[in-house]
Amino acid sequence: MQNFVYNSQPGRVLFGTGTLHQLPQEVERLGLQSVLILSTPHQEEQVSSLAALIGSKSAGIFAGATMHTPVSVTERALEIVSERKVDGLIALGGGSTTGLGKAIALRTDLPQIVIPTTYAGSEMTPILGETTDGRKITQSSPKVLPEVVIYDVDLTVTLPVSLSVSSGINAIAHAVEALYARDRNPIISIIAEAGIRSLFRALPAIAQDPSSRNGRSAALYGAWLCGVCLGSVGMALHHKICHVLGGAFGLSHAETHVAILPHALRFNETAAPEALTTLREAVGHQDPARALFDLGRSLGAKMALKDFGMPAEGVDRAVDLTLETPYWNPRPLEREGLRQLVSNAYEGNVP
């Protein structure tokens, strides 16, 4: 067995159905008195019920969270934090809202309660990606790790199938790269396989019956496991490219993961034979890269970067930015192979 180091991330997780009703007790347990509730604009009505749930301990709602966590949005939220003497944060939503909470926490060290409504998984990580001047910069700090995460299956039942698929495959990407991470370890590999297996089977069930409690529960559980992977070990080429594309072209974070993952896995598979063996078991297919491509395509996901806003001339820019400050990767990066990867994802080719 390989030598390894395993670090467990601190945090409290409540998982199940109806768990949202435990929010007031969690606010009380953390000793909070003035809590700012965060959301995206389209979820503002939904989070108004949270303000009612915690009553006088609500410091109001900031519904300005947006994709890729622009620093300008964080600065506006920080003004409210200061004005209202906020001592804690509640973030309800997907990666955009979670990212905003983390960005505020990085600068203030305020405690966070995160209530995910998608399968993004970032709530389980000490990682923050922020965008400024067309570049997305990623960093890691214990300050941004949420103190409490409340998973309530009930909140995911109305998540549209398209968003369920894109955020679910986004979560799978965390676990795929954890299997060949430089600091991988046997514990995280077990968690990664279980997370991939759960989501790979749950997403078709949700597409067939969006109200399926079994499907929704399995997907949320899988997303939690994959989020643990993201928060415990380093990522590689796939995540680097996705961050580049999001920062440079404003592409949807989750959709970008769907389009890139099969091609990034194909690029790396010969350099990661143990990971490939585990993936074959998890997805039940001898060619995991093709299986992941077919999963997204069969569930109606866009598989071509050109279909959601990337310009053709962006292929070379993406390669340049990826090589400028590359992540560690099991296979050495070279321009020709990397350009082929991005070009295939741009066109939506079968890997």
In tens, the pLDDT along 301-340 reads: 999 999 988 999 999 999 999 999 889 999 999 999 999 9
pLDDT value for 88? 98
Whether pTM > 0.75 for this model: the answer is yes
Q: What is the pLDDT of residue 7?
A: 78
Q: For residue 116, give the nearest of 203, 42, 198, 221 by alpha carbon.
A: 221
**Distance between CA atoms of residues 23 and 330, nearest Å:** 42
125 touches 227 (CB < 8 A): yes
The one-letter amino acid at 33: Q
Q: pLDDT tens digits, residue range 114-158?
A: 999 999 888 999 989 898 887 888 888 999 999 999 999 999 999
Find the angle CA(273)-CA(279)-CA(285) to the nearest 5 degrees. Answer: 110
Q: Which domains does the chain have, with CATH numbers?
A: 12-156 (3.40.50.1970), 161-347 (1.20.1090.10)
Query: What pLDDT digit, counting tens, does each position of 239-271 carry?
Result: 999 989 988 898 888 899 999 999 999 999 999
The owner of tokens 């409210």 is 80
Count of C-beta atoms within a 10 Å radius of residue 281: 12
pLDDT surpasses 80 at 2 = no
Taking CA 267 as the corner, what is the angle to CA 266 and CA 272, rounded to the nearest 5 degrees?
85
For residues 146 and 12, the answer to whether their CB atoms sit within 8 Å is no
Question: What is the CB neighbour count within 10 angstroms for residue 71?
Answer: 12
Nearest to 241 by CA among 261, 271, 269: 261
Per this entry, what is the length of the chain?
351
> Looking at beta carbons, which pairs linking 125-129 to residues 24 or more positions away fall under 8 Å?
125/9, 125/227, 125/230, 125/231, 126/9, 126/231, 127/230, 127/231, 128/69, 128/99, 128/102, 128/103, 129/68, 129/69, 129/99, 129/243, 129/246
